[in-house]
Amino acid sequence: MEKNKYIILFILLFNFQFAQYGKNIVQYDNFEWHFIQTMHFDIYYYSHQESQIDFVASYAEKAYDKISNLIGWDLNNRSSIIVYNSHIDFQQTNVVNSYMREGIGGVTELMKNRMVIPFDGSHKDFKHVIYHELVHVFINDGIYGGSLKNLINSNTVYIPLWMNEGIAEYLASKWDANSDMWIRDLALNYDQIPEIKSLNGYLAYRGGQSVWNFIAEKWGEESIKEIFYNVQLKNNINKGFKESIGVDIDELSKQWHKYIKKEYWPDITIRDDIQDISRQITNHEELYNSYNISPSPSPDGSEIVMYSNIDGEMGIYIISSIDGKFLRKIIKGNKTAEHEELHILKPGITWSPNGDRLAVAVKSGKSDDREESNILKLLFLNFAKSRPSFLYLDHLLNLLTITSYIER
């Protein structure tokens, strides 16, 4: 019965992950694939990727050694790494039957335990993604047998999301400013810090990373190997942790809570509360939305343009800087080919000097290659107070601007 429960759970997760509800994966290009082999990997690439492939090969092998030493096992089989030149090329992949929306900086699929990653223009982020996704390759191989078929046919323990994504983030960067910001906000501005078992969604990444950082600080990095060994041996998460570090998950939650309170609560006395030194002009609870981001004030300071998902889809709106009242919608994204995707993870809006125009980058086409004039349009939104009018101007970008990390 226990085995059947995990099989049903994973099939449901698999179907949810890869089901397409009205979204098509449009494939504009026929990529001519090549590959190179390193000691542990087959790395697939297509044109104009020679410098990236050397980078991937070097860091994949370095990541292999680091992960193997910390997690406690080697891969049983060679693994494939499939590299795309950009995130929009990555969105054409058929390795997984799921649209790679902005925010997915890479994916590791379990059917054949293949790793698929795009190069986003930043070698620092690229290295992070290589390390992160390769941790999933190791867990898929060492815990789940290297494929979905082997997982279904086994009675192995299921590694929870916080543990899986958290260790991937920790091994990729240990601790960083982005995660520090998230956990500080969690500690200072929420009435209750979630239990470790409740670290889901994006908190599985940031919260899970914090948990592993705490474990490494208190019990040493060598405990990571011991934890995974005992989790496999006992076939149970609680028993594995108890055997390795002497506490189960509930007790670990209590100690982690004390750790982050001790780390961040002193900020209450040494820093000004944002509510005491500022005035809030938007309220996502009243608007019943989840995003009000990338604000840009007008040249005269009377208005603010920002990204918001007020009506469920991300759009660009202008509000009053005095009382936050919504004045007008400039554009609604994710609905037309001209505005196929607004880039909420790396957003940016700018005003013209006289305040009558806006410029914003949007996804509009098949490629972010600089030779393609129709890929990203520098969208000049020419509007009047009563009736906005739009003038679209094709623009050849000198830099690749569509990038994102991690939701995975």
Show me where the domains of the chain are located: 2-264, 279-394
Tell me, what's the pLDDT at 302? 92
Tell me, what's the pLDDT at 227? 97
Average pLDDT score over the chain: 80
pLDDT at 399 over 80: no
Task: Quote the pTM value.
Answer: 0.78
Tell me, what's the pLDDT at 356? 85
Name the CATH topology of 2-264: Neutral Protease; domain 2 (1.10.390)
Q: Identify each DSSP E strand in 333-390 by its residue range.
A: 341-342, 349-351, 357-363, 376-382
φ, ψ dihedrals at 284, nearest 5°: -65, -25
Q: Per-residue pLDDT averaged across 278-282, rounded?
A: 86
Which tokens sit at 291? Answer: 């995003």
pLDDT digits (tens, 9 = 90+) for 95-108: 888 877 777 889 99
Tell me, what's the pLDDT at 141? 92
pLDDT digits (tens, 9 = 90+) for 291-325: 888 899 999 999 999 999 887 778 888 989 988 88
Q: Quickly state the pLDDT bin for 228 (edges 50, 70, 90).
A: very high
> Which residues are CB-contacts of 60 (< 8 A; sequence separation ≥ 6)?
38, 40, 41, 43, 81, 130, 134
| Nearest alpha carbon to residue 316 among 359, 356, 279 | 359
> Which residues are CB-contacts of 352 (< 8 A; sequence separation ≥ 6)?
358, 359
pLDDT digits (tens, 9 = 90+) for 50-87: 778 999 999 999 999 999 999 999 999 899 999 998 88
Bridge partner list, 382: 357
Q: Quickly state the pLDDT bin for 337 (edges 50, 70, 90).
A: low
Give yes or no for a contact between 321 and 332, defined as CB atoms under 8 angstroms apart: no
Half-sphere CA count of 61, side-chain side, radius 13 A: 12
User: In this predicted structure, which of 107-116, 127-136, 165-174, 364-373 has the lowest mean pLDDT?
Assistant: 364-373
Give yes or no for a contact between 187 and 265, defined as CB atoms under 8 angstroms apart: yes
